[in-house]
Structure 1
């Protein structure tokens, strides 16, 4: 997209700001009129953060700004990625555009001048916005980088969490970054560490026995240039499978097979049909049975790839999609891999597993202390017939996204850690990582942390109230009458 959109017709006068500088001026005025952010009201503790946020992608940035809106400023964000590369957008995400409708306000927290639309129009104009179908993936990353700049949270990049522990007074994070190994203390911790925050890529047990040179997972670095003139099989039925198949096709693969176990490719995005404020604001109040049933139904039904993503593949004559095609065996044949499938045999050069992520505590050794103590859904409720569902390993979170102890009293610090990542979906719905609900989730999280910090510091605030002596009246504003005459 170029700035010149003069050829795009529009019958509406363009009220858009003419530059990002003008947009930022409008946003600054919004904040000024609303007297935001308020002064920090939390009493400081020497060497202790009020809130540490692990992750500075969309969820971490939104949570940070939500905290600033309620006057909590003693925060810091830590992200293992370099600055400007947080999240999946420039790494394993390979779609051309986002799935979400462009009209969703995402992390804007109610500020019109903080939305993607405002950012886009400031650069390209209203007419260009009107003809835009979906948000280009890397343009969304550019927007998030702008969001970070204008909200200005304190972020420490290139810093990985290596361990987490705690006591009744707070949480300790061991970190490894540019300054070496450090330990940070915080009263509250938010894990805003993404889709793989409590696990990693799901690799079916069958594939762990196959030589790794023959396969890659869709959510790792893949040398697509090396697949030129090769035959590639992509396993999966969702957006990740389609995106990786398209990437291989566009990089010159000779043939790409998309192999799907299901009898039919999913066609209806059930989750999209439930996108309304009721589900965003009320999901966490449902019974355990209803929360599990809701998520399990969507998982069983399957989420289809976006329309434009599928066309990106099917426009290639060397693309083939086969349903009812599970892999039954794989055998090396020299430098190639022979696959026996439910639809027959095929020999390929490489396989891409588009099998998604899973909550898998073993893949997150830095969270070992949480894993050892936290209450899981299988400890409270399992939907009948789904004892082996991945959902059984999800943490059973409290109403404030907090981890709960499996055995009360063994880890009194655990409820100081809040899961604002994908693993919260079973307890809270899609308000921790998906664009539609991220603002509502961040504001609820910030409100709950505000209440917790105030309650813990009640004695301080009580003494502050007693000690407050700034007079409203000076005593010379009236003369007291001598009697009732």
Structure 2
């Protein structure tokens, strides 16, 4: 038997086991949400925007809870959703291989089960971390084996407040635009889901042929023999620097603002089910303390990512070197830091993402009404933090809240299940470790809303239900057979 044939056989056996597990648990639950039609158009109960990991596990949870009438839309071609085979450039995931991620508590749905089914237990024990592209293979399999309702190459152009308290989505598919009606919409749109990449203003007047953000589509082959600069000390900065070196960059200068590379992963260090389920219950000032401390300490890059760079003699680490100026001189750039001036041909900014509704035209109608943390909470003294201040202030089901109560009621039907939800709910919506717990919280909130909204229909169904369990032939009425004295 060939390796590929053995892999196929192993996956088939795993899929059979998963099917049996689901049957034993009576999953998915029966469909229960009443169909709704408005002006002859079927209404979708939940539309999920984004078919990356967060969107898939949300879909899985909704299906598990009997909400069959939902859709997952993604603008990318099938197999290219999320960052894994697009702008992610690490060799392996940063998370430990044992994390169960989107498995929803089902052992046969874990990455470990997927890996061992193809390569065996010994290979799993020898594996350090999940290879990045194999994680994408796992998500493709996850989508297939759960039969999730994903539609690719569909972009959501605008979301509006629609008729009868619904949301109307203008979508583009196959070059044509049409409208969907939905009761709820979930934004499972990743790190940049409420904005886009952040680059410093010094790039404003510099042609983009000289620079890129680490999340851009970069032609690394073009950097062969070039002088390349990278800004940042995070994982994405390191991975882009390493990719440039491996593509043949003649020189790599890594500019790091801090006097040292961060070394301790604070939030992971205290990771527990207490943090997962308890963070949302913290008073506001304590949420702020935890995340302000974590963000200012900064997450260290993985050790293998740093070693990928230092393995190259032409790589140069510059600590305590914030970029203070960037200028074009002839056919190249000059980077200025407090320590000197450096000629470079191309610069990559590993500077993260920002909340900026101006970059999300699909949210234009709702953006002025979305309440941010800065709208109602003053940062404690000494803890000013622009990232936290710009985070959306969310309800229990990840729904947006209004700046002015009553000004935009439809906003409560729009749910933020992406990275900026961290300030309200903790790290449940952007990373692997607790993504199932986050999706479970979201899906249960949606189920509650759907049931309450349809209470009249459910009550009518209750009154109309007339299937007897007792037929009347199970007993004899003793008094009916005895004469009355």
The normalised TM-score by structure 2 is 0.95
State the secondary structure of the residue aligned to 2:478: coil
The residue number in structure 1 matching 2:312 is 316
2:411 to 410, 414, 424: 414
CA shift at 1:333, angstroms?
1.7
CA shift at 1:387, angstroms?
4.7
CA shift at 1:382, angstroms?
3.2
- Does the CA contact (< 8 Å) of 1:17 and 1:121 recur in 2? no
- Does the CA contact (< 8 Å) of 2:202 and 2:326 recur in 1? no
Distance in 1 (alpha carbons) for counterparts of 2:210 and 2:255 = 16
CA shift at 1:174, angstroms?
1.0
Q: For residues 238-262 of structure 1, give each alpha carbon's deviation from its aligned partner in whole angstroms, at most 9, with x where no partner exists.
A: 1011000000000000010110011
1:274 to 244, 266, 270: 270
The residue number in structure 2 matching 1:306 is 302
The within-5 A match list for 1:355-370 is: 355-370=351-366
Distance in 1 (alpha carbons) for counterparts of 2:404 and 2:160 = 16
State the secondary structure of the residue aligned to 2:341: strand
Q: Residue 192 and residue 301 in structure 1: after superposition, are their counterparts in 2 closer, same or farther (change >3 A)?
A: same
State the secondary structure of the residue aligned to 2:450: helix
Distance in 2 (alpha carbons) for counterparts of 1:276 and 1:18 = 36
The residue number in structure 2 matching 1:153 is 148
The within-5 A match list for 1:22-421 is: 22-46=13-37, 47-167=42-162, 169-178=165-174, 180-384=176-380, 385-387=382-384, 389-421=386-418
Distance in 1 (alpha carbons) for counterparts of 2:284 and 2:439 = 22
Distance in 2 (alpha carbons) for counterparts of 1:172 and 1:405 = 19
State the secondary structure of the residue aligned to 1:258: strand
CA shift at 1:30, angstroms?
0.5
**Backbone CA RMSD of aligned residues:** 1.8
Distance in 1 (alpha carbons) for counterparts of 2:345 and 2:135 = 34
Q: For residues 57-76 of structure 1, give each alpha carbon's deviation from its aligned partner in whole angstroms, at most 9, with x where no partner exists.
A: 10000000100111100001
CA shift at 1:282, angstroms?
1.3
CA shift at 1:210, angstroms?
2.4
Q: For residues 204-261 of structure 1, give each alpha carbon's deviation from its aligned partner in whole angstroms, at most 9, with x where no partner exists.
A: 1122232322111111011111111111110001101100000000000001011001
Distance in 1 (alpha carbons) for counterparts of 2:226 and 2:124 = 39
State the secondary structure of the residue aligned to 2:440: helix
2:433 to 436, 444, 452: 436
Distance in 2 (alpha carbons) for counterparts of 1:285 and 1:86 = 32
Distance in 2 (alpha carbons) for counterparts of 1:149 and 1:302 = 37
The residue number in structure 2 matching 1:13 is none
- Does the CA contact (< 8 Å) of 2:292 and 2:385 recur in 1? no
Question: What number of residue pairs does the alignment pair up?
Answer: 474
Q: Which shifted more, 356-365 or 162-171?
A: 162-171
- Does the CA contact (< 8 Å) of 1:37 and 1:70 recur in 2? yes
Distance in 2 (alpha carbons) for counterparts of 1:179 and 1:231 = 41
- Does the CA contact (< 8 Å) of 2:379 and 2:385 recur in 1? no
Q: For residues 43-92 of structure 1, give each alpha carbon's deviation from its aligned partner in whole angstroms, at most 9, with x where no partner exists.
A: 00121011110011100000001001111000011101001110001111
Q: Which shifted more, 384-393 or 169-178?
A: 384-393
The residue number in structure 1 matching 2:452 is 455
Distance in 2 (alpha carbons) for counterparts of 1:339 and 1:461 = 66
Distance in 2 (alpha carbons) for counterparts of 1:18 and 1:73 = 30
State the secondary structure of the residue aligned to 2:86: coil
Distance in 2 (alpha carbons) for counterparts of 1:431 and 1:401 = 11
Distance in 2 (alpha carbons) for counterparts of 1:381 and 1:195 = 23
CA shift at 1:323, angstroms?
0.5
Distance in 1 (alpha carbons) for counterparts of 2:327 and 2:45 = 55
